[in-house]
Chains A and B, each alone.
Chain A
Amino acid sequence: MATPCDSLAVPSFSASSSSIAGSGSSGSFSAVSSCNPIAGASAGYIAGSSSSVGLSSSSGDMQLTDLGIGTCARVVSVVQHDGKAPVELGRRLAELGFLPGEAVRIVAKGLMARAPIAVRIGTGTFALRLFEAACIRVRPEQPTA
């Protein structure tokens, strides 16, 4: 299923967003999707371990929507909109706390297809529609049981 994150978009967040994506890191993400990350894996929680920057780290990444209920994960990046979604989407997600390195967990999913999901981010919980959640790439903390 095509998600807003699958198509290319110019980051409208700010001029500097491409620079903090870091040299090389945005390239490394193109192997997974054509999304423009707000920030590469180099920012945030991986800052201490430079070895994890790059292609090798992206293999365990997934969209937040693919995460199972109760599985702990960390935000890797928040991608920009595809032109149809509100331009403020990426910025607002970041303002709500969806920033690289933050702990996330799915609290609830609806029964119906395309129902929103409830996501724990840090110490807060937000209901996100799927296209919003699809813009968030995460890495599970432990293998899914």
Chain B
Amino acid sequence: MEALASAPSPLIALVGNPNCGKTALFNILTGSRQKVANYAGVTVERKEGSLLTPSGLRVRILDLPGAYSLDPLTPDEQVTADVLLGRRAGETQPDFVVCVTDATNLRQNLRLVLSLKRLGLPMLVALNMSDIARRKGILIDSARLSQELGVPVVETVGVKAKGVRALVAQLDALGAPARERPLAVWRTPSAAELEHDQAEVRRILGLTGGDRLDGVTLSDRVDAVVLHPVAGPLILAVVLFLVFQAVFAWAQAPMDAIKFGVTAFGNWLGAALPASLLKDLLINGVLAGVGSVLVFLPQIIILFFFILMLEDSGYLPRAAFLLDRVMGSVGLSGRAFIPLLSSFACAIPGIMATRTIQNPRDRLATIMIAPLMTCSARLPVYALIIGAFIPQQTLWAGLQLQGVVLFVLYVLGVVGAMGVAFVLKRKGPGAGYQSLMLELPAYHWPNARGLAIGLWQRVEIFMSRVGTIILALMVILWALSSFPAPPPGAMGPPIQYSIAGHIGSWLAVLFAPIGFNWQISIALVPGLAAREVAVGALGTVYALSATGADVSGALTPLIAHSWSLPTALSLLAWYVFAPQCLSTLATVRRETNSWRYPIIMAAYLFGLAYVGSWITYHAALALLS
């Protein structure tokens, strides 16, 4: 792929303010031909795609992170400025810049256009969301705007394939990139220059139209309710609660289908293959392990669907606004809410998203508590235990008891996180003022295409983790559980004599005070690689150690039968706090560029988990006796 970089396909950079619809435009231009990676040395997401123009020109398109200014305050903005100036190692300076603007918000967006013009790179301006502008009665004379700005201006609609025709035609006309790149120069503007820019924006908009200052917009009317001091938090609580209920209720049918499919395939394989070590590996190692993790994919998809919807509709920053005061009371900014909410899906993107927090101390606190947010990898573990131990019982108003227990686990994680953040705030150095300055973009309906692409990218990441890390661990665990073979004439299940059995019995001593048996103790070891692995590991441990009819039985009735309720509750508490994910610790290492913080994190989380499980176990024992 790297060789292609030297081929004469021009590199186009999409630049724009946050919330200008740039990513939607990028999605429509490149479709599924996208590569998502990180910029070298930082955790800023790098999105590149390609486009084949009608005349057959292959164009590379780089979706640069949103920026308000070329004087960076965040790592995102730093990347954008560095790439444009050609001073980012490993990145080619773009041949051409497409400055994406929100046609309904030109007053803000045109200042960046003026800054980019000053850079001296060849560019054009895309008037994005031009359909929404027209519907709002904002009419912009784009020919006049082009004349005043001195660069081409095209209208685009980032959510429709037809909406980028004019832009594609302009890119088509670019041809092969020039050998000599123009030198981009940037000098931080003075306050006077910023004001001068704004005066220029006002002058241009006066000539071209598009400066209609809305009175009370539809978004304002929605905000009057959604941001209402009393109604707002209530709506937020309802939204979050509905999401968690849906994760459980809607996912049931597809989960049952996957379970059925995996079982049927395992039976077919068992009948078709002759008895051998390979068959044992395939059915009890690979299929049992991956199959029991795959089954929870529907829940993960539903959760991500809601997160993406909230993000795309513009509700997510409102939630940050509503929570800012609460977050502030424990020393976090409202901005920390978005990384923390992402951590409900997975702590890794959540920790990466903390780069938008400017204050380093605030950012570190957010990183430290991100693993306490209940990530989707815990769902398989929670679902297994809740399904086995909590009766399917409807409380009042259609509320499911299982859903309520799940909600309580989420709340526990959040309360724990707030407690830790509060301690960090007390112990940390004086914080001074922390900025919020969070844009609340106009509401709009989430775009199905963007949602599908976003969902697919996240599912792909989850699937590749299932396919690689988990499969490898399942096979290793199968081997640990199978070798050495039991001595001739042994009475117990074979796993007792294996390496895993020895590790498990040693760990069981450590975990006995919190009610864990040796099967759980074994499962927690591979579970360090990823939380969901523990479910597959339990499956393997039990499938191998069980005798007779239990082998074909599902894990759920098995553990319901062999674990006590206090043990189950103790394990739930363990999973609320324990750092059962090496990937998270590796991410923290990379984000903080130090081993100090991942070590501190692992130590405090294990301590918290052990204490939490001990209290849960002994409280449950006392209550049930």
Interface set of A (CB-CB < 8 Å, partner B)? 4, 11, 13-17, 19-20, 38-39, 43-44, 47, 81, 84-86, 88-97, 99-103, 107-112, 114-116, 118, 120-129, 131-132
Contact = CB atoms under 8 A, between A and B. Distances in A.
A88 B105 CA distance: 24
Most B C-beta atoms less than 10 A away, residue of A91, A94, A108: A108
B228 interface: yes
Contact of B437 (A13, A99, A114, A127): A127
Interface in B563-607: none
A114 B213 contact: no
A110 B441 CA distance: 18
Interface stretch (B188-196, B342-350, B504-512): B188-196
Contacts of B433: 4, 81, 84-86, 89, 129, 131
Nearest to A111: B229
Contact of A118 (B359, B435, B440): B440
Nearest to A11: B191
A63 to B, nearest CB: 16
B108 A96 contact: yes
A20 B437 contact: no
Nearest to B106: A123
B432 interface: yes
B435 A129 contact: yes
Contacts of B105: 122-124
Contacts of A97: 107-108, 111, 198
A94 B227 contact: no
B437 A92 contact: yes
Contact of A16 (B190, B219, B432): B190
Contacts of A118: 223, 227, 321, 440
A39 B192 contact: yes
B191 A16 contact: yes
Interface in B95-125: 104-108, 111
B73 interface: yes
Given A92-B435, A121-B108, A129-B436, 17 more contacts: A20-B191, A38-B191, A43-B192, A95-B194, A97-B198, A102-B198, A107-B440, A110-B229, A112-B229, A115-B324, A118-B223, A123-B107, A123-B108, A124-B441, A128-B436, A129-B434, A129-B435
A128 B437 CA distance: 5
Given A103-B213, A116-B324, A125 B71 contact: no
A124 to B, nearest CB: 5
A17 B433 CA distance: 23
Interface of B: 68-69, 71, 73, 104-108, 111, 188, 190-192, 194-195, 198-199, 202, 213-214, 219-220, 223-224, 227-230, 232, 317, 320-322, 324-325, 328, 334, 358-359, 432-442
**Most chain B CB inside 10 Å of its own CB: which residue of A85, A86, A101, A116:** A116
B321 A17 contact: no
A133 to B, nearest CB: 10
Contact of B334 (A15, A93, A127): A127
A66 to B, nearest CB: 18
Contacts of A47: 199
Nearest to A109: B229
A115 B232 CA distance: 13
B192 A19 contact: yes
Contacts of B188: 14
B198 A108 contact: no
A110 B325 contact: yes
Nearest to B314: A125
A38 to B, nearest CB: 5
5 contacts: A13-B190, A16-B190, A95-B194, A124-B108, A129-B434
A44 B196 CA distance: 8
Contacts of A20: 190-192, 195
B188 to A, nearest CB: 7
B209 to A, nearest CB: 13
A47 to B, nearest CB: 8
A93 to B, nearest CB: 7
Contact of B320 (A90, A120, A127): A127
Contacts of A90: 191
A99 B194 contact: yes
Contacts of B198: 44, 97, 99, 101-102
Given A85-B433, A102-B198, A125 B440 contact: yes
